Structure 1
């Protein structure tokens, strides 16, 4: 027997997948580190969510509710939805993976955009299908480019709205145009992880589009504005037929009990959400203005992060800035893998971190802010 056949071998295509690499967390030799690389909220979780988590942690011997009824009902109450059309998961990543597992087969195609979330490509390839990458326009999803890429092999389309790492969005009119132009058997996935931060009258997270169509789903997360990234809590709003299909293959207890309890308490505390989004809006405007003042380009963002573009000049490129900032304890996200080799993404952090990055980049550019 050959060496190759004497051990388990993954099915074709698995080893072609580039594993997801999170943003770095450490700055060796620096006493105080500010992690601004993962779009986590600087305000943390709602005190009510923390209290609910602690209470649930007193009963760890019990299996969780396999239907996550408390969380689904809390989400439904806040958003005015039917709990039967809501599915919760171990982060929205799990739900994205289930969608690919259920609706893609080898030979199928899934469409993603050039600067879209890397997990889409991973999940499409993991299902044995082929990712088709389409261009964006001005760092924004291009509906016409997506529609032009559709073939008889297309089964799913992913768009992040708002986008990550760009922070841009398309209005609901464009989302509707995209849905109308797709074949009815193609699943349109609207990843609205940053929806709570958007303050634009022409934006809609996807709830309205899902409610009026049989082939659209919306995914959301508790990892951003709700501050529950450590617990991995995500949810999806979808037609009943899609919910039913995914429920047939998901794990029987895919969410832990403390996460269910904390998520339900977090979404009920909308006053805390308002505090977090107001803080974010103030600092998005401040850091954008400050970076532009010192000669940096910033993609206009409706989220809790900004994409900063650096000069193509020796000593002033993104990699140089990354080293400079890391040495001072500020960790931003390099986004070369997203198609931005000379840019960094900065999450809005606590006030002292935001001011520190502004000051440090001013020094780096030789133009104090």
Structure 2
């Protein structure tokens, strides 16, 4: 019988849980400014489809549980992309699906692999499952297939790859994604996180549908939070092999997507015109912002998503930390990316025309002035 001294005096989380650094969202408030432009969370500046808003308001039978299988939404997704609804599962944002994949396919003694600047939730989900996170280095802010494959061990169970990646905005062409899949052992699950896929207009890009259709160890994750403008409703979806979908359905919550989320997302995915308007806005203003920021002497990582990673000088008065404080005073909220290991940069969501002009004007003042301590 163990001694009383060996018994903890309170409930103790299992090993690894307290090693998790909680995810900190981008700031949403800036004190003192007359008008605030939130450019920290990669939200759609056009907002949601009016049809989605109408569907949201119509979902008012609040006393009833939602459809636990999100049947209507899965059917709408299937129709839009030509997919079998039985191979789709919906979640509370793609974040939940990332966590469920880690819980279902990895645990103590297993490894989960992702790239150096991969989405922070990959680490959180890995540690929550009791598995060990493994990080592969990137090249010039691009995921490196050779580095990922070199990091695979017999303990590897899941590889998470954001394509395009957040916070860098870079992507891997489809040939590289296929090379990664072909180099993985068949028991390793490749999870392609395509949260920003709708924004990409490159001939060599594919979100992952083709690979999932032909492989038993690949899934593709998508979200309604970005181009569809439904971040507040938290709706995501995943396409995968029947066996993977079955496993995730066994560990997810029975009613994990709300009735309002199902209704709004169904209407959103059926409104192709709104999606195209968002893409056109992003193409126009992403290009404009990149040109303007480079002209100010800043470095911008080429992005195919709805945000830019902007690199600041190291000299006092011009640093990213000082820029962040300066912009906050002007009511412009960007995202610090220190937690990603990029302390010299800020991530900028492409905003409305007004917000974009305000940002460039503020940065022109910042780069032209003296802000040293």
Q: What residue in structure 2 maps to residue 47 of structure 1?
A: 50
1:32 and 2:35 matched: yes
CA distance in 2 between partners of 1:3 and 1:311 (Å): 53
What is the aligned partner in structure 2 of residue 85 from structure 1?
Answer: 87
Distance in 2 between residues matched to 1:3 and 1:155, nearest whole Å = 34
Query: Quick one: distance in 2 between partners of 1:354 and 1:3?
Result: 59
Structure 1 stretches of at least 4 aligned residues deviating more than 6 Å after TM superposition? none
Aligned counterpart for 1:125 among listed residues 113, 127, 134 = 127
| Alpha-carbon spacing, 1:3–1:324, altered in 2? closer, same or farther (3 Å) | farther
> In the TM superposition, what whole-angstrom CA distance separates every residue of 1:338-360 from its partner, at most 9, and x where no partner exists?
11110000001111110011111
Q: Give the aligned partner of residue 363 of structure 1.
A: 365
CA distance in 1: counterparts of 2:348 and 2:180, whole angstroms: 30
1:196 aligned residue: 198
Alignment partners' CA distance in 2, 1:5 and 1:339: 36
Deviation at 1:3, TM superposition (A): 9.6
What is the Cα-based RMSD across aligned positions, in Å?
Answer: 1.0
* TM-score in terms of structure 1 length: 0.98
Output the CA distance in 2 between the equivalents of 1:26 and 1:18: 22
The equivalent residue for 2:347 is 345
- The residue that corresponds to 2:69 in the other structure is 67
Q: Residue 111 of structure 2: which of 102, 109, 119 is its match?
A: 109
Residue aligning to 2:98: 96
TM-score by length of 2: 0.97
> Distance in 2 between the 1:124 and 1:249 partners?
15
Q: Separation in 1 of the partners of 2:5 and 2:286?
A: 59
In the other structure, the counterpart of 2:179 is 177
C-alpha displacement of 1:31: 2.1
The 1-side partners of 2:76 and 2:161 are apart by 26
Within 1, Cα distance between the matches of 2:157 and 2:121? Answer: 17
For 1:235, what is the secondary structure of its paired residue?
strand
1:332 aligns with 2:331: no
Instruction: Tell me, in whole angstroms, the C-alpha distance in 1 between the residues paired with 2:33 and 2:7.
Output: 46
Q: Secondary structure at the match of 2:180?
A: helix
